[in-house]
């Protein structure tokens, strides 16, 4: 029932989008994918160190949802946030430089992969604590209502956040106070090596919304149009003062939990099935089949994206390290 409804939403979304809009979705998903692939390469060459969690496979969720927002709306994410940060408009150069630990990075080279932050673009982090972003999203939502502003907060988190108290406390307060927050659960079936069925007492995660008196919907997180359609509805509801929603986007991370996880706990067959449902290839196929895109233009876009990524890596390589004299800058207590 829920899936039928969202498929209908995807068809409607397709009808309301022109070729430029679809190309923009394609370009942005490809940018995130190629960015992540290059990050993996740079990590294995020792240019990037520390914890690093890649978003490849899940691009349709960030792009479909964030493209439903205005620039002034807020996004808050997890430690798997490179894709959300790029989709919010932070430049690939400054994100890559941050991962390299360089002074030109979006967090001055002090945050690294898990702590991207750009207040100007209203990308409010990057949090290593599972479920840590949800109470912050509620706080942002409360400040918007208090100041009678028109913005919306879009809060991304994984399935692993649902057993946390913070999830339940946040949804309860957001609903009670009718806050303009869209909660987006990226259900990729695993929290590190633990399958969702071993961690959560119900499989349909969107149904938790019922307990908190808000709309809940499950969407195919490998279909950017389906995500976008559902996000448009939830964002409109939030902006009109009707309160929060919960979207469960069913998706899959192509790699292990982090760069140091070979994902031995996952059957290779399962991985192949999800690779066949690739969100970027599906959108490309759909655009060509439905004559809503031109092969040559898509090839051009692909070349453009590759050049942007090359440029981001060159920028990061050439950027300076933060100076030693600034070691204690931004530290609250000395």
**Separation of alpha carbons 75 and 151, rounded Å:** 11
Nearer to ligand TPP, 9 or 56 (CB): 56
Q: Using an 8 Å Cβ cutoff, are 122 and 75 in contact?
A: yes
Q: Which residue has the tokens 């990075």?
A: 105
From residue 151 to residue 190, what is the string marking binding to Mg ion with x (rule CB under 5 A)?
-------xx----------------------------x--
CA pseudo-torsion sign 308, 310, 311, 317: positive
Nearer to Mg ion, 51 or 70 (CB): 51
For the chain, the first-to-last Cα distance in angstroms comes to 57
**DSSP SS3 for 332:** coil
Consecutive H or E run containing 229: helix 224-239
In 230-291, beta strands by DSSP E: 245-250
Binding span for ligand TPP by CB under 6 A among 88-96, 128-136, 238-246, 267-275: 128-136
Q: Using an 8 Å Cβ cutoff, are 153 and 144 in contact?
A: yes
Residue 13 found at the interface with Mg ion (CB under 5 A):
no
Task: Pick out residues in 26-85 that bind ligand TPP (CB under 6 A).
Answer: 80
**Separation of alpha carbons 242 and 173, rounded Å:** 14
The single residue among 106, 130, 144, 234 that binds ligand TPP, judged by CB under 6 A, is 130
Residue 160 found at the interface with ligand TPP (CB under 6 A):
yes
Select the binding partner of residue 129 from ligand TPP, Mg ion, none (C-beta < 5 to 8 A, by kind).
Answer: ligand TPP
Six-digit token pair at 235? 């964002």
Q: Kindly state the smallest distance separating residue 85's Cβ from ligand TPP, in Å.
A: 15
Residue 199 found at the interface with ligand TPP (CB under 6 A):
no
Residue 57 found at the interface with Mg ion (CB under 5 A):
no
CA angle, 59 as apex, 100 and 156 as ends, to 5°? 85
From residue 226 to residue 265, what is the string marking binding to ligand TPP with x (rule CB under 6 A)?
-------------------------------x--------
Nearest to 313 by CA among 118, 94, 107: 94
How many residues make contact with Mg ion (CB under 5 A)?
A: 4
Q: What share of the chain is helix, strand, coil (3-state, %, to 5)?
A: 50, 10, 40
Nearer to ligand TPP, 97 or 136 (CB): 136
Binding span for ligand TPP by CB under 6 A among 38-46, 183-191, 223-231, 285-293: 183-191
Residue 158 found at the interface with ligand TPP (CB under 6 A):
yes
Of all residues in the shown chain, the one whose CB is closest to ligand TPP is 158
Q: Kindly state the smallest distance separating residue 159's Cβ from Mg ion, in Å.
A: 4
Alpha helices in 51-187 (DSSP H): 59-66, 82-87, 92-99, 133-146, 165-176
Positions in the binding site for ligand TPP (CB under 6 A) = 80, 128-130, 158-161, 186, 188, 190-192, 257
Q: Which residues here bind Mg ion, judged by CB under 5 A?
A: 158-159, 188, 191
């Amino acid at each position: 029932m829920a899936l039928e409804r969202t498929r209908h939403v995807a068809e409607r979304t397709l009808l309301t989008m022109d070729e430029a809009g679809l190309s923009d979705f394609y370009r942005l998903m490809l940018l995130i994918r190629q960015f992540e692939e290059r990050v993996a390469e740079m990590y294995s060459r020792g240019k990037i160190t520390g914890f690093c969690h890649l978003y490849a496979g899940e691009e349709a969720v960030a792009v479909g949802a964030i493209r439903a927002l205005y620039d002034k709306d807020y996004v808050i994410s997890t430690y798997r946030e490179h894709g959300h940060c790029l989709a919010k408009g932070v430049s690939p150069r400054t994100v890559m430089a941050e991962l390299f630990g360089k002074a030109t990075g979006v967090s001055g080279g002090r945050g690294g992969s898990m702590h991207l932050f750009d207040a100007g673009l209203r990308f409010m982090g990057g949090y290593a604590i599972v479920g840590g972003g949800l109470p912050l999203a509620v706080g942002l939502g409360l400040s918007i209502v208090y100041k009678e502003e028109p913005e919306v907060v879009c809060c991304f988190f994984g399935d692993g956040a649902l057993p946390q108290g913070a999830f339940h406390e946040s949804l309860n307060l957001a609903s009670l106070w009718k806050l303009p927050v869209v909660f987006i659960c990226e259900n990729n079936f695993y929290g590190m090596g633990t399958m969702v069925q071993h961690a959560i007492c119900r499989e349909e995660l969107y149904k938790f919304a019922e307990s908190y008196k808000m709309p809940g919907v499950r969407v195919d997180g490998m279909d950017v149009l389906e995500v976008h359609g559902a996000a448009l509805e939830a964002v409109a509801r939030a902006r009109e003062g009707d309160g929060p929603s919960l979207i469960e986007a069913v998706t899959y991370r192509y790699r292990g939990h982090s760069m140091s996880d070979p994902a031995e706990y996952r059957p290779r067959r399962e991985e192949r099935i999800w690779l066949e449902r690739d969100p970027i290839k599906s959108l490309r196929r759909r655009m060509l089949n439905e004559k809503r895109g031109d092969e040559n233009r898509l090839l051009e876009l692909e070349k453009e994206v590759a050049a942007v990524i090359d440029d981001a890596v060159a920028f990061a390589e050439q950027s300076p390290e933060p100076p030693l004299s600034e070691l204690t800058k931004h530290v609250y207590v000395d």
